[in-house]
Structures are given as C-alpha cells and as structure tokens.
Amino acid sequence: MINVKSAVPLGMCLLLTMPAFAADVVETPPPAVPTWTLGIEGAPEFYAINNGSNAARSLADTYFKFSVSHTFENNFVGGVFFQPTFKTGGKTQFYGEATLGYKIKLTDSFTLTPSLGLGYTWHDTGIVKGSDANAQLPYYALYLAGDWKLDKQWTWNVFNLRYRNAFNATWETPKVTTGVTYNIDTYNAVYANVGYSWKKAETTKAPYDQLAADKISFAIGYKHSF
C-alpha cells in the first residue's frame, strides 16, 4: 500500500528540482570562425605563343607563392605574399606584394571581392627600362574575384581577374584564372586553377611591343586557417 502522506511531498520535491537540473545544462558554443590563413601555391607556366626565342607550350618557368591573409570583421581582407619564380635557363625573378580587398556577398552562394595590390619585383625581371634590361620596379595590381559556393565542401572560383603594371615603366600583365577549391574541414582546403596571361613590356622586341598572349599556368595550392 502506498503511503499518500509520503508520496505527495516526494512528487513535489521532484517537480521543484527538475528546473534546477535543466538550468545546469550548458550548450557548447560553436567554434570560432578562422580569420587568419596561411597558403602555399605552386605552378608551372608555359609560353602561350611563339615569341621568337621560345616555342609555344614550352616551359617558361615554375613559381611558388607563400601567402598570409587576415579577414576583418567588417569584410575587409588584407594579405601579403612572397613569390620566387624560377625561369628556364637558370634565371630567377622575385615578387613581394601586399593587398587589401573587400568581400561583397551578392547572394548566399556568390561572393565578389575587388582588391588593390602594391608590390615590388626584382632580380632577373626582364623588364626593359632605359638601358637596364632587368629593372627592379614597384608596381600596382587591381584584382576582381568571383567565388560561387556550391556546397559545404566545394567552391567554384569562377574567375579571378588581374591588371598589373609598374609605376614608372610599361609592364602591363593582365591575367585571368578559374578553378575549384575543396574544403577538407573548417581549417584546411586544397585548390587548383588554370590561368592565362598577357604582357606588354617596355621593349621594341615583338610580340611584347604590343599587348600579346604570354603564359598559361596550372596551379595547385593548400590553405590552413586558424
């Protein structure tokens, strides 16, 4: 037989203590969104056309790009990179550049990012300025990137447009690339892209006395965010 007098207080105690147990449950906060990214990229580049001394589709150079970037809370993105380029024949050209861009989210899936870069190139540049065939020059670059997030892991880097020129010499080097990125997880990603560039340099040697096709590149890269 149930003792009614003891059952009622017991039930009331359970009701009074249940909210206390619920209050003790703490939800785990989501992980912080990474804002810093380290990257490494490598690519062979091939001549796009016959340019007098090199045959089309022959190897022009191989480059490696080491980058660091930071995404700010207001959608601005800043970064720097260092790029050594190893040319066929044993010559080497170096690039150092800093960029600042702004991410514009046009839709839930598509992002447009215009940016400005200021850089410096040196060593075996091949840029003719006066009597110096290897002028070491500061330059500026304008970029426009369009990225379409297909799903949680895949992003189509629809286009990345570049216009680049030296401040005190003619060194027009536009380039367009397209590729894909695979996000392994929140912190790691790999990508691949193909690029096509043009060049007009301060020289009378054809074909680069006018803006002409220059190189085709095939790049792969890895990014780690934290």
The answer to whether residue 21 is domain-embedded is no
Element (H, E) at 10: helix 4-23
Stronger pLDDT, 23 or 40, i.e. the higher one? 40
Domain count, the chain: 1
Looking up tokens 């367009």 gives: 176
pLDDT digits 0-9 by tens, 93-114: 999 999 999 999 999 999 999 9
Query: Over 80: is that where the pLDDT of 1 sits?
Result: no
Q: With bands split at pLDDT 50, 70 and 90, how would you rate the model's confidence at 8? A: very low
Q: How far apart are CA 68 and CA 223, in angstroms?
A: 10
Query: Over 50: is that where the pLDDT of 21 sits?
Result: no
Query: Of 90, 36, 29, 98, which is closest to residue 62 (Cα–Cα)?
Result: 90
pLDDT digits 0-9 by tens, 190-208: 999 999 999 999 876 889 9
Q: How far apart are CA 14 and CA 16, in angstroms?
A: 5
Q: How far apart are CA 188 and CA 42, in angstroms?
A: 17
- Residue ranges in 38-169 assigned as alpha helix (H): none
pLDDT digits 0-9 by tens, 120-142: 999 999 888 877 889 999 999 99
Structure tokens at 133: 């065939």
Residue 48 belongs to domain with CATH number: 2.40.128.130
Query: Of 215, 197, 219, which is closest to residue 87 (Cα–Cα)?
Result: 215
pLDDT at 25: 59
Range of the domain at 54: 30-225
Q: Tell me which amino acid residue 83 is.
A: Q
The answer to whether residue 39 is domain-embedded is yes
pLDDT at 13: 47
The answer to whether residue 165 is domain-embedded is yes
In the Cβ-directed half-sphere of 61, how many Cα atoms lie within 13 Å?
16
The answer to whether residue 22 is domain-embedded is no
The answer to whether residue 193 is domain-embedded is yes
The answer to whether residue 9 is domain-embedded is no
The answer to whether residue 10 is domain-embedded is no
pLDDT digits 0-9 by tens, 37-86: 999 999 999 999 999 889 999 999 999 999 999 999 999 999 999 999 99
Q: How far apart are CA 40 and CA 60, in angstroms?
A: 20
* pTM of the full structure: 0.86
Task: For residue 196, report the phi and psi dihedrals to the nearest 5 degrees.
Answer: -135, 130
pLDDT at 128: 86
CB–CB of 68/38 below 8 Å?
yes
Please state, in angstroms and as integers, the Cα–Cα distance from residue 102 to each residue in 51, 71, 99, 180, following that order. 37, 9, 10, 21
The answer to whether residue 78 is domain-embedded is yes
